Amino acid sequence: MLVDNAAWFDYTNYSTTAALFRRPIRLLSLLGGIAIFYILVIFVPKAPETLYGFKYVKSSYDWSALPQAHPVAELTPLPTGTPRSIPQVQYDFAAHYRPNSTRLDVLAERRQAVKDACRKSWDSYKKYAWMKDELKPVSGGSKTTLAGWAATLVDSLDTLWIMDMKDDFYEATAAAVTIDWETNETSFNTFETTIRHLGGLLAAYDLSKERALLQKAIELGDMLYAGFDTPNRMPVFWMDFNQAKRGKLQPNVHDPTSSVTSSGPEFTRLAQLTGDSKYYDAIDRVARFLQRTQNTTKVPGLWPTFLDMEFGDLTLENDFTLGALADSTYEYLAKMHVIVGGLEPMYETMYRQAMATVIDNLLFRPMLPEQDDILFTGDLSVDAATGEKTLPGDSQHLACFAGGLFGLGGKIFGIQEHVDIGGRIAKGCAWAYDAMPTGVMPELFSLFPCTSLDGCAWDEDKWELKGNATLARGFQNVDDARYLLRPEAIESIFVMYRITGDEQYQETAWRMFQSIRNATETDLAFSSISAVTTAGGTAKIDSMESFWTAETLKYFYLVFAPPDLISLDQYVLNTEAHPLLRPTGATGS
């Protein structure tokens, strides 16, 4: 503390000063004043500073200044050179698509209906849950579910921009750049924070070029980077603040696969925008780990649902899926190939090996009376003793993203079979929507799998013996009847529309949107529901996760939008639907 000596200790008049210290009341007042000063300096939040036109609040802790307990001797830099030519992903709408005015009016009306749903949701969030993680869409309260860092606000920034809600975008941006990445929580989920917050900030920057957003993303990126500071540089899933600051983080032996391998696009884009290779080095080490272990598992080509990140032994796990806990690991292989400009060949190699194994082991065509040519992805178990594989016909809403995964990968790597499979998966999920009384797909369900992707004859006796007579013919059961406002089915419908130009996908999307709106709308917004199997309405769960506005409504809007809005040849969408710019010139441009 800097003080004026003459104000309190006059060496030329010691008697005056001594008299001061002989008076206890004055002494206590002096000490109290000093204490108040320190409280104001240390504990009161910092006043905003003006940064790039916004009132900006720096985080309380500077993670960029934290020394690495396990430093990297030599950072792996971003791949250099001119990006390789990557095949066009989107259908050539300019050359082949000429919608008439009536069709354009229909699409405009549908976009407006989606935007109205977003406007209703956003206005209620602003009124009842501003700067909180989630709105309670039934009661009007709020939830803290992701460390209290305004998840819905940050996650929705690019949606506001894309839907031309610019006033709301700038209001939300002004709020976002005041977030302090310190929290009352002792730890946080690094995966969700990466895909929602970091992805949201980077996409909002790529769209708007507002540099305050990039600065806030750098703060967050430095905090997330600390999660890689372990003895073997493998990341943690839950980052304990105290352990991270003491350099005591340890990788775990049983982490969900996607949670510790899905920072690639976000960290790569941050490295491109900042020129700091530490972010790329962090995720490159994880990718090398995936490359080394891909063929060491009980199903060579696939990674199990859980990973041992401490010792790297993946031979003991028996479960494999494209669904929850593993999804974005596979989703990001083709997307990483694109965002590094095709300059790192391991991503294509891993994609081809993984998807070939998925086709042979995880996909199934259901037994249906109408012989619909559709596919689903299942959950595979391997018997620990015999090695026998079992695919019982279980599937899940979350796994519907696989239609887009195959569609994009097929276009990027020139594999038409994958494009066709992507369409069959997307149409399978649309079938599951139509099959429910509400017109909405459940969280978890089971079907009768054929032994071949070419299909099988309908077996009435099997259906009557094991099927659920309260459901559409073909279902064994619905194991979780909820709908959580999920985006994965419309994600694949959107991707398949953009890469094929087939208007039937738009018609499917409109039918899905109307069903979702009818089943989930509340007075305030839209809510998760407890049972899609109940005709005429079902109980609301009073939950509206941030992906409702960040993903679900965004995909519905884009499927009806002009195809040059967020073109798949210009952007890579992360697993939370945040569009990150693809490199077009030298890497890092």
Virtual CA dihedral for 42, 45, 51, 53, nearest 10 degrees? -160
* pLDDT reported for residue 468: 94
Mean pLDDT of 555-581: 98
The answer to whether residue 23 is domain-embedded is yes
pTM of the model: 0.92
Measured between alpha carbons, how far apart are the two ends of the chain, in Å?
A: 45
Asked whether residue 33 is domain-assigned, the answer is yes
* CB atoms inside a 10 Å sphere around CB 440: 27
Asked if residue 36 has pLDDT above 80, the reply is no
Residue identified by tokens 């790569």 is 268
- Domain holding 32, by residue range, is 1-44
One-letter amino acid identity for 107?
L
* Cβ proximity of 217 and 198 under 8 Å: yes
CB 270 within 8 A of CB 202: yes
For residue 563, is pLDDT > 60?
yes
Question: Exactly one of 284, 308, 331, 488 is catalytic; which is it?
Answer: 488
Chain mean pLDDT for the chain = 92
Whether 412 shows a pLDDT value over 80: the answer reads: yes
Please enumerate, by residue number, every residue annotated as part of a binding site for Ca(2+): 575
Contact 74, 281 (CB under 8 A): no
What is the identity of the amino acid at 244? Answer: A
Angle value at C-alpha 548, between 562 and 410, nearest 5 degrees: 55
Q: Select from 151, 110, 101 the least CA-distant residue to 494.
A: 110
Q: Which pLDDT band, with edges at 50, 70 and 90, does 497 fall under?
A: very high
Query: Is residue 34 included in any domain, yes or no?
Result: yes
pLDDT at 2 over 50: no
Taking residues 326-337, report their average pLDDT.
Answer: 98
Instruction: Provide the pLDDT for residue 173.
Output: 98
Is 417 catalytic? The answer is: no
Active site residue 327: yes
Confidence of residue 538 (pLDDT cuts 50, 70, 90): confident
Burial of 142 (0-12, 13-18, 19+ CB in 10 A): middle
For 54-89, how does the pLDDT look when each residue is reduced to its tens digit (9 = 90+)?
999 999 999 999 999 999 999 999 998 999 999 999
Give residue 46's pLDDT: 61
pLDDT tens-digit profile of 351-375? 999 999 999 999 999 999 999 999 9
- Comparison of pLDDT for 12 and 392, the residue scoring more: 392
Residue 315 lies in a domain: no
User: Which residue shows structure tokens 């494209």?
Assistant: 322
* Residue 488 annotated as catalytic: yes
CB atoms within 10 A of CB 107: 18
Residue 384 lies in a domain: no
How many domains, in total, are found in the chain? 1
* 571-573 and 579-581 beta bridge pairing: antiparallel
Binding-site members are 575
Among residues 327, 344, 394, 545, which one is catalytic? 327
Q: Which two tokens stand for residue 559?
A: 């499927």
- For residue 13, name the pLDDT band (cuts at 50, 70, 90): very low
Contact of 483 with 443, CB cutoff 8 Å: yes
The pair phi, psi for residue 363, each rounded to 5°, is: -85, 145
Looking at residue 86, its amino acid is I
Confidence of residue 45 (pLDDT cuts 50, 70, 90): low
The pLDDT assigned to 48 comes to 87
Q: Are 281 and 68 in contact (CB under 8 A)?
A: no
Percent of the chain clearing pLDDT 90 (strictly above): 89
pLDDT at residue 589 tops 60: no
Query: Which pLDDT belongs to residue 32?
Result: 52
Q: Of these residues, 134, 219, 443, 551, which one is catalytic?
A: 443
Gap between the Cα atoms of 74 and 280, Å rounded = 12
Q: What is the pLDDT of residue 564?
A: 97
Mean pLDDT across 124-142: 98
Give the ranges where 66-165 is alpha helix by DSSP (H): 93-96, 101-129, 151-155, 157-162
Q: Quote the pLDDT of residue 71.
A: 97
What letters, b where the CB count within 10 A reaches 16 and e where it falls short, cover 567-576? bbbebbbbbb
41: pLDDT confidence band, cut at 50, 70 and 90? very low
Instruction: Say if residue 144 is exposed, middle or buried (CB neighbours under 10 Å; 0-12, 13-18, 19+).
Output: middle
The per-residue pLDDT for 295 is: 98
Q: Residue 238 carries which side chain, given as an amino acid letter?
A: W
Residue by residue, DSSP assigns 25-94 as HHHHHHHHHHHHHHHHHHTSPPPPEEETTEEE---SS-GGGSPPSS--SSPPPPP-SSPPP----S--HH
pLDDT tens by residue, 100-128 = 999 999 999 999 999 999 999 999 999 99
Element (H, E) at 447: strand 444-447
Q: Which of 161, 174, 165 is nearest to 119 (CA)?
A: 165
Residue 2 belongs to a domain = yes
Instruction: Say how far apart CA 435 and CA 253 lie, in whole Å.
Output: 40
Distance CA 242, CA 238 (A): 12
Secondary structure letter of residue 551 according to DSSP: I
pLDDT at 11: 28
What's the distance, CA 429 to chain centroid?
20
Let me know if 192 is a catalytic residue: yes
Residue 421: pLDDT over 90 = yes
For residue 114, give the nearest of 504, 559, 488, 498 by alpha carbon: 559
**pLDDT tens string 291-330:** 999 999 999 999 999 999 999 999 999 999 999 999 999 9
Q: Are 407 and 496 in contact (CB under 8 A)?
A: yes
**pLDDT, tens only, 205-246:** 999 999 999 999 999 999 999 999 999 999 999 999 999 999
pLDDT at 587: 38
Q: How confident is the model at residue 332 (pLDDT cuts 50, 70, 90)?
A: very high
Question: How far is 182 from 8, CA to CA, in rounded Å?
Answer: 37
Distances (CA, A) of 173 to 115, 153, 157: 19, 9, 7
Q: Which of 171, 185, 192, 434 is catalytic?
A: 192
